[in-house]
Amino acid sequence: MDFPTDLIQLLIKATRVSVLTGAGVSQESGLRTFRDSQSGLWAQYKPQDLASPAAFARDPKLIWDWYAWRREAIKGVRPNAGHYALAEMEKKISEFTLITQNVDGLHRMAGSNNLLELHGNILRVRCSVCGTFTEDWGDDSESVPLCGKCNGLLRPDVVWFGESLPRAELEAAVTASRACQVFFSIGTSGVVQPAAALAHAARNNGAVVVEINAEPTPLTPKVDFAFHGKSGEILPELVKAIWG
């Protein structure tokens, strides 16, 4: 694949790069989307009935079973070449921020460290009352696990329908988008907030915006460079073109 020389030159010199990834990156690893994973007995539920504070208040066990099922589905999934290429970029660029809308933990598994998980992480849980995080919740599948501190119900540490994004992560994402020289939007339609706002913030502050996605999106006409295809193929080639 041939990349424009000015983009390569820009990335060779860049010291501040921010990247936003969405569901498309996970799908290339074979992970099904939220809606696609609603097969079998889960097909009868609306997404809001499985992922909202009201649904959890109504039937916490149902929500736990749904997330246990999704965690099980993630177990066999591995990062793809695009995840690894982004982890490689982080090593080469002094200020590199990876912002993701994905909750599957694949970026961390691939070795990314400076990572902002805007929608949380499905492999982590927190107390629905006091907010304490835990990665060890003794899932006995018979009942909903309780917080060791306050006995409140534990819940998945993901952002549900009707909930705000975690404030610290969102603020850090906006700051990184405003400060970067190059902003990548990868595997995301660019219409869901805050994705659109982050690309916009980058552009308004003088960053060059690059899109990598399976197909054109509403963001495409507004970016400086757009590549349509698999991020798992384009990103490794881009890394190779820049750093050999």
Closer of 39 and 151 to Zn ion (Cβ): 151
The residue written with tokens 């982080």 in the block is 90
Whole-angstrom distance, CA of residue 30 vs CA of residue 235: 17
Residue 200 is among the residues annotated as catalytic for this protein: no
Of the candidates 83, 107, 119, 228, the residue annotated as catalytic is 119
Neighbouring-strand partners of residue 155:
126
Closer of 111 and 166 to Zn ion (Cβ): 166
Stretch binding Zn ion (CB under 5 A), from 43-51, 92-100, 141-149, 228-236: 141-149
152 contributes a contact to Zn ion by CB under 5 A: yes
Of 49, 94, 103, 38, the C-alpha closest to 74 is: 103
Cα atoms in the Cβ-side hemisphere of radius 13 Å centred on 122: 22
The residue written with tokens 């927190």 in the block is 126
Q: Which of 144, 147, 201, 234 binds Zn ion (CB under 5 A)?
A: 147
127 contributes a contact to Zn ion by CB under 5 A: yes
Q: Which of 150, 192, 204, 205 binds Zn ion (CB under 5 A)?
A: 150
Please give the size of the binding site for Zn ion, defined by CB under 5 A.
8
Query: What residues contact residue 125 under an 8 Å CB cut-off, 6+ apart?
Result: 133, 134, 135, 137, 145, 154, 155, 156, 157
Each residue 99-118 as x (binds Zn ion by CB under 5 A) or -, in order, gives --------------------
CA distances to 26, 86, 106, 186 from 21, in Å: 9, 10, 11, 5
Q: How far is the CB of 147 from Zn ion (least distance, A)?
A: 3
Stretch binding Zn ion (CB under 5 A), from 28-36, 37-45, 124-132, 162-170: 124-132
Is there a contact between 53 and 132 (Cβ–Cβ < 8 Å)? no
Stretch binding Zn ion (CB under 5 A), from 3-11, 43-51, 113-121, 123-131: 123-131
Report the 3 state secondary structure along 86-142.
Answer: HHHHHHHCCEEEEEECCCCCHHHHHCCCCEEECCEEEEEEEECCCCCEECCCCCCCC
Q: How far is the CB of 125 from Zn ion (least distance, A)?
A: 11
Closer of 56 and 227 to Zn ion (Cβ): 56
Residues that bind Zn ion (CB under 5 A): 127, 129-130, 132, 147, 149-150, 152
Q: Known catalytic residues?
A: 119
